[in-house]
Structure 1
Amino acid sequence: MKYVVLLGDGMADEPLEELGGKTPLEHAQTPRMDALARAGQLGMVETIPPGFHPGSDVANLSVFGYDPSRCYSGRSPLEAASMGVELGPKDVSFRCNLVTLTPHAGRIYMSDFSAGHVTTPEASELISTLQEELGDEEFQFYPGVSYRHLMVWRGGKDKLKFTPPHDISGQSIENYLPEGEGADKLIYLMNAAQLLLKNHPVNRQRGLNGQDLANSIWLWGHGRAPSLPTMAEKYGINGAVISAVDLIKGIGLYAGLDIINVPGATGYIDTNYRGKAEYALDALKTRDFVYLHVEAPDEAAHAGNLKDKIQAIEDFDREIVGRVLDGLPALGDFRVLVLPDHPTPVARMTHTADAVPFILYSSRGDCPASSQAEGYSEKAAKGSGLVVRQGHKLMDHLILERKF
């Protein structure tokens, strides 16, 4: 038996007036997911436990089968694992975004949480400068992908409060700076980084090109290294993770899974969808399980770009779901779980903690068919009457074949 999770990050949304009261997922042309919803089991799942911030870290831990209330220690430590950065028991890791801040009327605004999707080579130069000028035995900066990077505070404090930068797009940052023990040191680093980045050659060239400047860092998502049982220990299976995002790769590494890097996988709407599907099918020839993650719908929603979000959903349906489903029968019996991790409403440009629609399908026909479902959407899934309250148990239904 082969087990596959196909996850479209942030696909779920809210009804929009410009779509006639439909959500982007309901409006998009998704024939493969619609057919799968009618042939398999359709329902809603709560991936964000009560009291948790609706981040991709918490949501994906749930989808992987881990209870965040027992194991969650922060987002950045998961990304550190993917980047090969070792954390000691007293070290605290931070997500270090490159962002665009813009002054206006005496205030500073978060104008772009991704610094115009700064390229990885450009970002590497910027983070290298920060490490050279600000790095020491206490603080170290590590380059990641595009705007997503890492800072480690050796022997640092973790009783701190942060706000994700994508939650304050277009807002003044003055009420969202780090708070708590040691926050003064972090604010100093953020201010020092602004001075270093303002006239950096990379930003001078971006300015000449009319692009957003990566003129500041934003620290958030902190935590210490977690302890998780592997998928082999939990389920007796081996597997792999395919994603362009360090967070997802990091969870995969803690889960004891192989990380498969796909050429052209960007984490945005221009990602190599087809390559991800082909690499997934190839991985399943020698493995039991694949977790295939696509970031594009989430990124489009954070940017408030409805057109791109719909395109990302349709590309996910055709190039990921369609191609994987076409190739799976040649590998024998299989079970597939299709879902988002959390909603990312375009109108809000940030995550919400609402339940998300899922499809569970088995090639053996042992998942009750949702024959009355119109297709795959939030409305159809709610209409099924099936709600999984503890999201981390959904993986048991996929792999252990537990009944709802």
Structure 2
Amino acid sequence: MKYVVVLGDGMADYPIPELDYKTPLAHARTPNLDFLASRGRMGMVKTVPDGMPPGSDVANLSVMGYDPTRYYTGRSPLEAIAMGVELKPGDVAFRCNLVTLSDEPEFTQKRMIDYSSDEITSAESAQLIAAVKERFDDEDIRFYPGVSYRHLMVWTNGPLEVELTPPHDISDRVIAEYLPRGKGSEVLLGLMLESNRFLPCHPVNQFRVHRGLRPATSLWFWGQGVKPALPLFAEKYGLVGSVIAAVDLTKGLGLCAGLRAVNVPGATGNITTDFRGKTRAALKELDDGQDFVYIHIEAPDEAGHRGELEIKIKAIEEIDEKVIGELLSGLPKFGEYRLMVLPDHPTPLSVRTHTAEEVPFVIFDSRQHYPNKVSTYDEASARSTGLRFEKGHELMDYFIKG
């Protein structure tokens, strides 16, 4: 038996007036997802426990079968692991975004123009982080370049309790009330202020402005945490598996669980990603003897954060055609298989950030077809089945063990 999970990050949404009050999932053309819905088990799952932040870290931890209330230690340590950065006892990892702030002279009155600096390229951002390292690295604080706008800072004996805000939660807002607060905040704020003094003048940013692109004008810290300790997925479920993702968060989570992280050329984390490339990589992993593959696709989430309705619909349709369709063609050669599709959390276009509502899942088993009254994969249809998981981490048990 082979097992495949397709995670469409942020795919769920609210009904939208421009779509006749349908959600993007309900509006998008998804014949392959609808096929799964008509013959599989569909329902709703609560991936974010009450009182926890509705981040992809918490939600993907839950989807992978780990109770976030027991195992969650922060987002950035997972990204550090994916980047090959060893965290020692006492090290606190921080996500460090390169963001675009508005140009008001007073730092606190600036607005968050773009949490991704127009999705700056990794090659450009590597040069900016090199300049940051030259200015700020010391025996306690170290910076590491990541992918696009997503980077890492490690602070030896740094503060865990400092209050920080994800920049994608405050698009277009004045940053004053979202700046670091609490223990250690003065150090982080100092780094942000100083970065805003020299980054706009860097040649990389000057050239971006010349090309009509947004410059990366400041560092922004969030998502702090320490190295987690997860039970191995193979010990938990008796399956050897792989994770396929463009973002370090999901790779790191998979590595912590003992899964093999697969890098796919052309996987970008947005709508330009190589959807078919990820699917081909998943089928190859199964062909090479893996029992389980977790395919993470970031594109719908990025569109949700940016408020891009047409891009979100396109991302869902690309997943349907180039991931689900290709899997339905490729999986039968392995004999018996199960396929599960779901978002980790909603990223509604109307709020442009994550929310904690339940999300729809569908499980297809090649051995058994279920007669369903619903024939479309969307939030309302999934809710109508009455099948529901209050504890998100129990869904993986249901998927694998039945």
User: TM-score band, normalised by the shorter chain?
Assistant: over 0.9
- Give the paired residue count: 399
Deviations 1:86-134 (A, max 9, x none): 1111010000001000035962000000000000100010011101111
2:347 maps to 1:344 = yes
1:211 to 194, 210, 213: 213
Deviations 1:34-85 (A, max 9, x none): 1101100000000000000100000000000000000101000010000001
2:78 maps to 1:78 = yes
Name the counterpart of 1:387: 388
Report the Cα offset of residue 243 of structure 1: 0.4
Report the Cα offset of residue 369 of structure 1: 2.1
CA distance in 2, matches of 1:67, 1:179: 28
- How do residues 267-282 of structure 1 correspond to structure 2 at under 5 angstroms? 267-282=269-284
The TM-score normalised by the length of structure 1 is 0.97
Report the Cα offset of residue 370 of structure 1: 5.3
2:301 maps to 1:290 = no
Q: Is the 8 A contact 1:42 1:370 kept in 2?
A: no
Q: Secondary structure at the match of 2:151?
A: strand
Report the Cα offset of residue 253 of structure 1: 0.3
Name the counterpart of 2:120: 118
Name the counterpart of 1:221: 223
Q: Is the 8 A contact 1:37 1:370 kept in 2?
A: no
Name the counterpart of 1:18: 18
Task: Tell me the amino acid that sits aligned with residue 259 of structure 2.
Answer: L
Q: Secondary structure at the match of 2:178?
A: coil
CA distance in 1, matches of 2:132, 2:255: 27
Q: Is the 8 A contact 1:94 1:219 kept in 2?
A: yes
CA distance in 2, matches of 1:74, 1:387: 27
Q: Secondary structure at the match of 1:330?
A: helix
CA distance in 1, matches of 2:188, 2:164: 11
- How do residues 314-333 of structure 1 correspond to structure 2 at under 5 angstroms? 314-333=317-336
Q: Is the 8 A contact 1:14 1:345 kept in 2?
A: yes
CA distance in 1, matches of 2:198, 2:229: 36
Deviations 1:371-400 (A, max 9, x none): 111300001001111110000011101111
Name the counterpart of 1:356: 359
Aligned Cα root-mean-square deviation (Å)? 1.0
Q: Secondary structure at the match of 2:204?
A: helix
CA distance in 2, matches of 1:196, 1:72: 35
How much identity, in percent, do the aligned residues show?
A: 54
Task: Tell me the amino acid that sits aligned with residue 17 of structure 1.
Answer: P
Q: Is the 8 A contact 2:64 2:396 kept in 1?
A: yes
- How do residues 45-60 of structure 1 correspond to structure 2 at under 5 angstroms? 45-60=45-60
Unmatched tracts of structure 1, length 5 or more: none
Q: Secondary structure at the match of 2:110?
A: strand
Q: Is the 8 A contact 2:13 2:349 kept in 1?
A: yes
CA distance in 2, matches of 1:369, 1:179: 52
Unmatched tracts of structure 2, length 5 or more: none
Report the Cα offset of residue 198 of structure 1: 1.4
CA distance in 2, matches of 1:312, 1:289: 24
CA distance in 2, matches of 1:277, 1:32: 14
Q: Is the 8 A contact 2:35 2:375 kept in 1?
A: no
Task: Tell me the amino acid that sits aligned with residue 12 of structure 2.
Answer: A
Name the counterpart of 2:97: 97
Q: Is the 8 A contact 1:360 1:398 kept in 2?
A: yes
Deviates more, 1:311-320 or 1:231-240: 231-240
CA distance in 2, matches of 1:158, 1:96: 15
CA distance in 1, matches of 2:174, 2:168: 12
Q: Secondary structure at the match of 1:319?
A: helix
Q: Is the 8 A contact 2:13 2:24 kept in 1?
A: yes
Task: Tell me the amino acid that sits aligned with residue 291 of structure 1.
Answer: Y
